[in-house]
Amino acid sequence: MAAAALSLAGCGDRVPPVSASYRAEVERWRAERLAALTKDDGWLTLAGLFWLKAGDNRFGAAPGNEIVLRGHGVPALAGSFELTPDGSVIAHVRPEAGVTLAGQPVPARPLRSDHDGKPDVLEVGSVRFYLINRSGKLAVRVKDRESPVRTGFKGLTYFPINPAFRVQGTLEPYATPREVTVATEQGPAQRMLVTGLVRFRLAGRDLALEPFLSSPDDQEFEFVFRDATAGRQTYGAGRFLDLPVPARGSRSVVLDFNYAYNPPCAFTPYATCPLPPRQNELPVAIEAGEKFSGH
């Protein structure tokens, strides 16, 4: 792919002029992305991912636990998560452990996962942890606001803003929406919905990307793509691009790759990230958006 890549901003090519308003818009988005990434519960705080087994799953700082919570103020054994035969998870917390839920002691009760909307977030010391559901498989996601990944983060890097990578696309809807299985970097494959193909022209090539939806009611397309910069200038597994779903009756889609960004898996080994399907591997170098600097 790299050998055959075409680039709009390669050697000797001139970047088109960037208006002040467009530059300000992109830079505002970059600042918001950085703030979201580095906040107290952002992706940089991820400190563990533990898939639950049937029965009891002990949690605490001791390495012999099924769920090891590395962080300040965590007791050796704080309690356990019981994965029951009906698929619910019951928290059993030791009274002296200091674990809280919404600032209160945690009773023995089933916990909500992120599949049920906002999950129940437990906290002890500098650590927060909660259930995630990926295609019916349950795991405990751990976040530590004092994670060295967060405290040692050196920021994001980008290609120069280039309006040439903002292109007009056309959505070609499928006759009926399709449910597809998408491979991930961690955990089980995910089920996503696709409703059509977005065709566009870039670097002198006719190209297409298939966007994902999490549900039929989603108002935003999620493009998971890989291009010829992957593994060299950008994250090897690909990047994301989020765009509004066209209004009813419209097929117009504007793809602005200056807003392409790295998935959480570029920063932490504890995230579950969809991988680009084969049809979303582009034979061009998209030198726009977020770079990868070996996080």
Mean pLDDT of 27-40: 97
Cβ contact 118:112 at 8 Å? yes
pLDDT band at 216 (very low <50, low <70, confident <90, very high): confident
Instruction: State the pLDDT at residue 270.
Output: 92
Q: Which fold has domain 43-144?
A: Tumour Suppressor Smad4 (2.60.200)
Q: What is the pLDDT of residues 161-186, one digit of tens each?
A: 999 999 999 999 999 999 999 999 88
Enumerate residues 6+ apart whose C-beta is below 8 A from 116: 133
For tokens 């089933």, name the residue.
Answer: 110
Tokens of 233: 């200038």
Q: What is the pLDDT of residues 99-156, one digit of tens each?
A: 999 999 998 889 999 988 899 999 999 999 999 999 889 999 999 999 999 999 999 9
Give the Cα separation of 8 and 210 in Å (integer).
Answer: 22
How deeply is 287 buried, as exposed, middle or buried, from its count of CB atoms within 10 A (0-12, 13-18, 19+)?
buried
Residue among 86, 84, 78 at smallest CA distance from 60: 78
Instruction: State the pLDDT at residue 11.
Output: 38
Cβ contact 66:53 at 8 Å? yes
pLDDT beyond 60 at 258:
yes
Enumerate residues 6+ apart whose C-beta is below 8 A from 25: none
Cβ contact 194:174 at 8 Å? yes
Beta bridge partners of 223: 241
Mean pLDDT of 192-199: 96
Give the Cα separation of 165 and 288 in Å (integer).
Answer: 7
pTM value is 0.87
Residues of the chain with CATH 2.60.200.20: 43-144
Residue among 294, 292, 183, 172 at smallest CA distance from 239: 292
Give the Cα separation of 26 and 21 in Å (integer).
Answer: 9
Tokens of 56: 């009891």
